[in-house]
Homo-oligomer: A and B are copies of this chain.
Amino acid sequence: MTLKSLMDNMLPAIETELQTAVTLLDEPYNRSFREMLTYHMGWSGEGANPEATGKRIRPLLMLLTCAACGAEWQRALPAAACIELIHNFSLAHDDIQDGSELRRGRLTVWKKWGMAQAINVGDALFILAHLVLLKTKATYLPELILEIGGIVDQACLALSTGQFLDISYEKRTDLTIDDYWRMVSGKTATLLSASTQVGALIGGADELSKENYKNFGHYLGSAFQVQDDYLGIWGNSALTGKSTESDLVAGKKTLPVLFGLAKNGLFAHRWAEGPIQAIEAGPLSEQLAGEGVKLLTQETADQMTDMAMLSLRAANPQGDPGNALFELANLLLTRRA
């Protein structure tokens, strides 16, 4: 059974689990509130379709990890729904914080219903994530629920800290590469490592194996983020004429920018002078490449990818789900557009 056929079974089960969670808001007077949540989840409203839900990477990683440890993947479904609700809570709040008007081509919740209700939508998703986990008493032992809750809430704290750092970095000019990793670790890597860690925990893995799965998630997230940063400057859409899409124009302090600033060359001097115009994005990305930053970024992404793959191999995932984990990691880490 390949990744594809496992996904064909898992993804509908994840959606069902998620939809059950949202029925906690099923009183008639909550109908509009529930609609905001189901819109955000990609199930209802304008533009609702399977792509609008996002890829459900985190729950998928959790189910595959659980199965690769030799347990039934169905056993991890409630925790998988929990982690995806957490992810969606953070997206709802991120969209407000970043002022993003679109997510996956659809209006964001705050753009559609206003900031006040969007804060509320995020809060409700966060609360539902916890209620879903608490409702697993029939499936999990109390100690297991508490252990999962501890991992998830520690990840949330890291998420919230990462978001704090990200926002505070906007005004800072003294950022180091360490600052970057601290932020990425919270914003991107933590929820992925919580996904694989909880999957291994529910799958009954031993301590060493859990640690390896946790590291796999961490490095997978880190590699993904560095690659995202790379594509944000040297990807196709960043380099086309419409280069408002370039992270350089957006002024984002991504890894290549921090590498470039550390070089203290022409790029750093131009950056210090103020906002980059769209027309400069192409030449400036070449300047950065000339200063060795393109290669350095690619090498960093490769390094993180290697660490992810080494950790996964060390975890020794079993059977078809194990193969599917390698396949999924490869898929996520070889985007080139």
B142:A157 contact, CB within 8 angstroms = no
Asked whether A160 lies within 8 Å of B124 as measured between CB atoms, the reply is yes
- Distance (Å) between the CB of A82 and the closest chain B CB? 12
Number of copies of this kind of chain in the complex:
2
Tell me, yes or no, whether A184 is within 8 Å of chain B by CB.
no
Known: A131-B153, A149-B134, A157-B128. A163 touches B115 (CB 8 A): no
- Cβ-defined contact, B33 with A161, below 8 A: yes
Chain A: residues with Cβ within 8 Å of the partner, total of: 45
Contact flag A96-B124 (CB < 8 Å), given A25-B161, A137-B146, A146-B134: no
Interface SS, A side: helix
Residues of A within 8 A of B (CB): 24-25, 29-30, 32-33, 93, 96-98, 114-117, 119-120, 122-124, 126-128, 130-131, 134, 137, 142-143, 145-146, 149-150, 153-154, 156-157, 160-161, 163-165, 167-168, 179, 182
Q: Apart from A127-B160, A131-B153, what 14 extra A-B contacts exist at CB < 8 Å?
A: A29-B165, A30-B161, A93-B123, A97-B115, A97-B116, A97-B119, A97-B120, A114-B167, A115-B115, A120-B163, A123-B126, A126-B126, A131-B157, A134-B153
